[in-house]
Amino acid sequence: MKNTIGNSLTVTLFGESHGKAIGAVLDGMPSGIKVDEEYIASQLTRRRPKDALSTPRQEKDEFSILSGVFEGRTTGTPICITIPNADTHSSDYGEMQYKMRPSHADYTANCRYNGFQDYRGGGHFSGRITAALVAAGALVLPALNKKGICINTNILSVAGETAEEKRNEKILAAKSEGDSVGGVLETLITGVPAGVGEPWFDTVEGMLSHAIFSIPAVKGIEFGLGFNFADKKGSEANDQMYADGDSVKCYTNNNGGVMGGITNGMPIVFRTVIKPTPTISKEQKTVDISTMQNTTISARGRHDPCIVHRASVVVESVTALVIADMLSAKYGTDWLAK
């Protein structure tokens, strides 16, 4: 499968940046769950570019639920949400049909789709498609919250800076130079009971990373201490345990809530690195694939100098979809509505 993920609860993505609409089909939601359109809108707003830190492209993200919701509640059948594309400046992209933006998907899309891809605005590879993931996640998050499961993604750093003010300075500086910066996000999931996940393949880490890596610009993921485990001794790194009434807890959470691929009841913690936005206006060397000549490119179009802050709600949404899928598989398809 390609643009579908999940076993018990599945999401199918579709759409291109400058096509009629983007959207998602969320299948496997149990019936009877309240659908809060204002919450969906507010999540989409969190993802939307705002102020000087982002692209000037302004989409209203006026989503439409085509199916699967009746009288304000899920029916249990597939929920198709579409978000029309409105504020498209396709003419900005004429040059880019053949001039491949370095580190963007332009060239790989061309290889994968033999030149037939909709190249305008990144097409199906555009970060814009993540709006559909956010909308799908917004159907699931309130139901998870009612189950006591909370998901939060915070910015750890941007361009090496951890303090918000400094981070924003870095973003604005990069913007003024026609450049871009990346950063690191940390996600915390609380309320997932111990015993969720599989020992092989469908580990918690494997399921989350499979989905998270489809968020554009993510290039790494680590759980708990992650790469910092490399320099630690077992005696330093192991999460020693104690009894807390009927349950077992850890003094530390170096494993980020997952051992042997399975949750241990501690908060699940992972970090994702977001690379600097590849589309920059600084001149770069590239190839015109229509002539196979070397050339340079200075990206036009409206672009983000940094997407770390916009990506946080996307990571939360994708995380919600994966966690809800794993729990629905374990506890049954109706569990989320109970």
165 binds a second copy (CB under 8 A): no
Of 49-57, 86-94, 135-143, 221-229, the window that binds a second copy (rule: CB under 8 A) is: 221-229
Of 43-51, 53-61, 174-182, 309-317, the window that binds a second copy (rule: CB under 8 A) is: 174-182
**Residue 198 dihedral angles phi and psi, to the nearest 5°:** -125, 155
The Cα 316–Cα 137 span in angstroms is: 8
- Binders of a second copy among residues 233 to 292 (CB under 8 A) are 233-243, 246, 248, 250-251, 254-256, 258-265, 273-280, 282, 284-287, 289, 292
Out of 49, 121, 137, 183, the residue judged to bind a second copy by CB under 8 A: 183
Of 42-50, 54-62, 90-98, 213-221, the window that binds a second copy (rule: CB under 8 A) is: 213-221
Q: Are strands 284-288 and 293-297 parallel, antiparallel or unpaired?
A: antiparallel
The Cα 169–Cα 306 span in angstroms is: 11
Neighbour tally for 235: CB within 10 Å: 7
Which is closer to a second copy, CB of 44 or CB of 196?
A: 196
| Cα 51 to chain centroid, rounded | 21
Which is closer to a second copy, CB of 218 or CB of 313?
A: 218
Of 7-15, 40-48, 134-142, 144-152, the window that binds a second copy (rule: CB under 8 A) is: 7-15
The Cα 59–Cα 4 span in angstroms is: 25
Q: Which residues have CB under 8 Å from 2's CB, separation 6+?
A: none
The Cα 317–Cα 131 span in angstroms is: 10
159 binds a second copy (CB under 8 A): yes
The Cα 269–Cα 258 span in angstroms is: 9
Shortest distance, CB of residue 131 to a second copy, whole angstroms? 13
Residue count of the chain, please give it: 338
Shortest distance, CB of residue 328 to a second copy, whole angstroms? 9
12 binds a second copy (CB under 8 A): yes
Is-contact 97 295, C-beta < 8 A? no
Of 87-95, 135-143, 146-154, 200-208, the window that binds a second copy (rule: CB under 8 A) is: 200-208
Is-contact 17 88, C-beta < 8 A? yes
Q: Are strands 69-70 and 293-297 parallel, antiparallel or unpaired?
A: unpaired
- Binders of a second copy among residues 29 to 68 (CB under 8 A) are 31-32, 64-68
Among left, alpha and beta (phi > 0; psi -120 to 50; other), residue 37 is alpha
Which is closer to a second copy, CB of 45 or CB of 67?
A: 67
Shortest distance, CB of residue 42 to a second copy, whole angstroms? 22
Out of 52, 86, 113, 145, the residue judged to bind a second copy by CB under 8 A: 113
147 binds a second copy (CB under 8 A): no
The 71-110 contact track toward a second copy, x by CB under 8 A, reads: --xxxxxxxx-x-----------------x-xxxx-xxx-
Shortest distance, CB of residue 38 to a second copy, whole angstroms? 19
Element spanning 154, H or E: strand 150-158
199 binds a second copy (CB under 8 A): yes
Residue written as tokens 């909370």?
150
